[in-house]
Structure 1
Amino acid sequence: MTETRPAGRGGAASEAAPVRILLLEDSDLDAELVAEFVARIGLPHAIERVMTREGFRAAAASRCHDLILADYVLPTFDGLSALAVAREHCPGIPFVFVSGTLGEDVAVEALKGGATDYVVKQRLDRLPRTIVRALAEARARAERETADQALRALNETLETRIEERTRELAEANTELRRQVAERERVEVALRQAQRLEAVGQLTSGVAHDFNNLLTVISGNIGFLERTVTDATGRRRLDMMRSAAERGARLTAQLLAFSRRQRLDPKPVDLNETVASMRDLLQSSMGGAVRIETVHQRDLWPAMVDPTQIELVILNLAINARDAMEVGGALTIETANVGLGSPRTPEEPQAGEYVMVSVNDTGTGIPPAVLERVFEPFFTTKEVGRGSGLGLAQVYGFAKQSGGGVRIDTQMGQGTSVRVYLPRASAAALGAGLAARADCPVSQQADGHPVVLVVDDDSAVREITATLLAELGYAVREAGSGHAALAALDRDPEIDLMVVDFAMPGMNGAEVAHEARRRRPALPILFVTGYADTAALMQTGQAGADRIVQKPFQDGELGRKVKAALRSGQRPAGPRLVSSREAGS
C-alpha cells in the first residue's frame, strides 16, 4: 500500500520531489501514528508500507526509496534481519528503527550493524528531527561519494591528459624550433645571396674597366711586335703579352662569377664531353691519382656552353687534386636529376637538370671555409698556388647557364661538387640541328668597306680603329652613341658599325636599336668587356658571331668583322652559334 501526504507548509516545498519512505510495520495503529509524525517534517513525502519479509526484500531491491523506517519486532521477521536485507540491497539508504521494545543493548547492536538511528514509539515526537537529520546526512554522504567518484575519475584521467598535453606541447615546441631554424636558414641564404650579388656587381664593373685597359695594352703590344726586331725587345714584348693574357683570364673568371661572361649555349652530351677530357684530366692529375667515370645511360642533353663546361670540369678536377694526398681517387659522374626547392642560394630552382659531379677522396672542407668557397679571391692555398676564383667561376657559370651548384663534404672523407645544368628543350635540339646544316656564306668581293667604330674610351677606340685599318677597312670613329647616330645620318656609305656595349648616356644596345631604325640592314658588331645578353637580344643581333670580347684575342675582331660584312643585307637573327663556327 502506498500513501502520499502533502506537507502542510505549502510554497516551494510543495513543488519539491516527495521524500520516498519505506515503512516496515505490522501494526495499523502504529503505522498511522508514524505517518502523523512523518508529516511534521514539512516536506512532500510518500510512504510505502510493507509487513512481510518478502515484501520488504522486494521493496529494498527496487532502490527507489530515500529512507527506511522499520519496527524491530515482527511476527515472522525481526529488525536486525531487515537491516541485513537493507545493507545488502540498498546500503546507501538511511535506516531508522521505530520500535516500542528496543532496549539500549539492542539499539547499540543495531547501530553497529549499520542503522542510522533509532526512535522509541513512546517518543515519536523525536521522529521528524531524526528523519531530517538522516536525510541530510544521506544527502551529504551522497555528495561526498559523487565528489570522490569525480576525483577518482579525474585522477584516473589526469595522467593521460598530462601525457597528451605534454605531447602537444612537445609537438608545438618542435614545430616552433623547425620554423625558427627554417627562418634562420632562409635569412642566412638571403644574406649569402645578397653578398654574392653585391660582390658580383663590383667585380663585373672592375672586370669591364680592366678589360678596357688590357685592350689598350694588348693592342699596342701587337703594334710594337711589328717594329721591334732585336731579341731582347721581342722577349720583353712576349713577357708583356703573357701578362696581359693572364690578366684577361682573370677578368674572364671575374665575369664568370658575376654571371656576365659571354656564353654560347647549345645542346651538349656531357658523357661525350667527359670522355673526350679523360687524357687531359689524367695528364693534369698526374699518375698518382686514379680517375674513374660514371656515365648515366640515356643522359639528357644539357643546354650549356661546351667550352666553358670543359673549363669548369678541369677547374674542379684540379681543386680535387690539390685536396688529396698521393694516391687519391677522382670520380666524375653524370646523371639526370629532378630537384625540389633549393636549400642554399647556390642551388638551382626546382626542375629537371643534367648533373656533372666531381668527387674526390681528399681532406674535406671545414664548415667555416664552406661558407665562403664561392666568394672571389677567397682561397686557403698558399700564395702563388691559386687565385681564389676557381669555385667563384664555377658558381657564376652555372647560375648564368640557368643551373646551380651544390657541395657535399665530410672532413677526412672527401668532397663532391655537383654542377646542375639545364636540360636542353626539344626546340633547342631542333635549332642545333638546323645550325649544323647552315652553310657558310661566300666571302664578300674585294673592296674597302666603311666601318664605324663607336667607343667612349679614346684609347680603346684608337686600338680598334688601327686594327681595322690595318685589315684594309675604311674607318670612321665616334666617341658616343649620339655621335654615332649623327655619323650614320651624314654618311650613307657606312657598311658596318662596331659599337662598345658599356657607354655612358646611350649604351651599345640602345645605339644599335636606334641605328636599326635608321638602317634596318646595317650589320652591327658589339665589342664589350661583358655582355648583357637580355639587352642585346632586343636588338635582334645577340648571336655569339656578333660579340667580340675585350681584350681582342687571336684575330677574333677581324674574323667577326669579315663575317658580319659577308652577311650583306641579311640581318643576323638571334640564333646562337659557337665561336668556332663564327670564326670558320
Structure 2
Amino acid sequence: MAIEHLTDGARGGAETPLHILLLEDSDLDSELLTVVLDGAGLTYRLERTMTREAFTAAAVECRHDLILADYVLPTFDGLSALAIAREHCPEIPFVFVSGTLGEDIAVEALKNGATDYVTKQRLDRLPTVIVRALAEARAHAERRAAERALRALNETLETRVAERTRELAEANVALRRQIVERERVEEALRQAQRLEAVGQLTSGVAHDFNNLLTVIAGNIEFLARAVSDDRSRHRLEMMRGAAERGARLTAQLLAFSRRQRLDPVPVRLNETAASMRDLLQSSIGGAVRIEMTLQPDLWPALVDATQIELIILNLAINARDAMAVGGCLTIETANVRLGAAPSRPEEPPPGEYAMVAVSDTGSGIPPEVLHRVFEPFFTTKEVGKGSGLGLAQVYGFAKQSGGGVRIETEAGEGTTVRVYLPRVAADEGVEAAEPGEIDCATSRNAGDKPALLVVDDDSAVREITVTKLSEAGYVIREAGSGLAAIHVLEQDPCFDLVVVDFAMPGMNGVDVAAEIRKSWPAIPVIFVTGYADQTALTRGGIGEDRIVQKPFLDGELERKVAAALHTHRAPGLKLVSSR
C-alpha cells in the first residue's frame, strides 16, 4: 500500500493507474513481474512489447509513466532500447530488469541514461526502485519547469524593466500636472474666499452706513423746511448731495453680496450633472476617471441652479485631493424617501428628496476626523493647502435649501458624500389652522387716518421713518424690536400696514413678517433695508414694490406705503388672529 500511495501521489491522484511499458520476450518473466507488482498493491496498466518495431512505436507516443526493459532480447539488446527511449521520450524513467545484467554492464547502462536496474534474482527490490524512479522523474520535471520559467523571466526582464520605467515616468509627469493644477485651483479658491470675506465685511459695514445716512438725509430734509436764508439752504443742499454720494458708494460696496444670492427654482439634477462633465474633467485632471450613474425618472429639486453646480464642483475637487495619483470619481443621482429621524445634525429630516452623490476611490476619512468635517475652518491639509470651508459650505447650502448631507467612508476604499435636496411636488400646500376673526370695523371710523406700525431697532432711524410717515398723514405706533411688534399686535391687531426693518437682532424683519402672515394675514408689510442684496426678501416672494432702500430718497417710502394701503385697505376691514 505504501507503494500505491507514493506512486499515486506522484501522479496526482489515487484513481489514475500507472501506465508501464514492458520490453520482455519471456512469458514466464512477464508473469513473474506481474505477480510482484500485484503483490505490492500497485495500481497499474501494463503494455508489453517484444520487438524493436513495437517498442519504437510505443516510445514515440510518449504516453507511459515508466519503462521496464530486459537487457537480453532476441532481435536487439537493452542498450539499443535505452537509446531509442532517450531519443523519443527522455523524460520517462527507464529501469532495466534482467537476469544476466552484470555490474559493469549496469554501470554502463546508468551512464547511458538508465534510471536504475533490478536483477531478476532480486525482484523484491522492484517496487522500491519504481517509487524512487518516479520521484526522481517528478523532481527532474519540476526542475526543468523552473529552469524554463527562469529562462523566460530572464529573457523578458529587460523589457519589463523598460516598461516599468516608462510607467513610472508617465505617473511622475501626471503627478506633476496634478500638483500644478491643484495649486492653480487652490489659489483660485483662496481668492474666492477672500472676496467672499470682503463681501461679507462690506455688507455689514455698508448696512450700518446706510442707517447713518438715513438719519443724516432725513434730518437734512427736516431742516430744509425750517431754513429760509439762501446760504443755509445751499449748505443743506451740499450735505444732501454728500449723503446721496455716500448712498451710491455703499450700494457699490454691497454689490459683492449679490454673488451669493440663492434663487431656488426647479432643477433637473441629471441635466446639471451631465452638463458639468467637461468642467469637472478639466478641474480634476486626466488622471481621474469620471463615471455617472443617473436615475432616469429623477424628481426635480428645488434649489439654486448656480449653487448646486458649485457644490458638485467643490465635492469633485475634494474627491480629487483624496486620490493621490488618480482614481475614479462617480456622480450618482437617485430618488430617496427617508423615514428615520436624523442621527447627526447634518443629516436630512424625514421626507422625499432628490439626491446627488459624489464618490471617490481615495484614502477615506479616519473616524477621529469624520465627526469634525463639517466644522468651518477644520482641515487636515497642511498650512496653506486648504481652507476647511468646502464641506461646511456644502452643509450650509443643503440645510438652507431644506435638505441635508450624509457621508459614507471606509479607510483605503474611498468616500461618498450624499447631498439630499427637497423635491418639487405638485401638491405642496398645507392647510392652515382656521383662525379666529376680529372685526376692526367696530373700532374704526370711515374717516380715520390709516394706522401704521413702524418696527426698527435703531431709534434714530425709527424717528426719521416715523416723522416722514406722520407728516404724510398717518397715525403711527412704534416698536423697537420684532418681539415688541408681536406684543403690540397681540394687544391691538387693527393696523393698516406694518413697516419693518429687515436687519434686527433676535427676530429680523422676515421673521416678523412670517408671524404676521400666520396670525394676521390681512395686514400688509413693507420692508426697509440698508442691504443692496435683497436675497432673503425676494426669496420669500416679496416684490420690489414692498422693499424700500435706505437711506430714503425722493419720497420712495411715502409712495410705496401709499400704494400698499391703496391695494389692501377696504371699508369694514376684518383682521384675523389665531391668538
Please report the TM-score for the alignment, with normalisation by the length of structure 1: 0.49
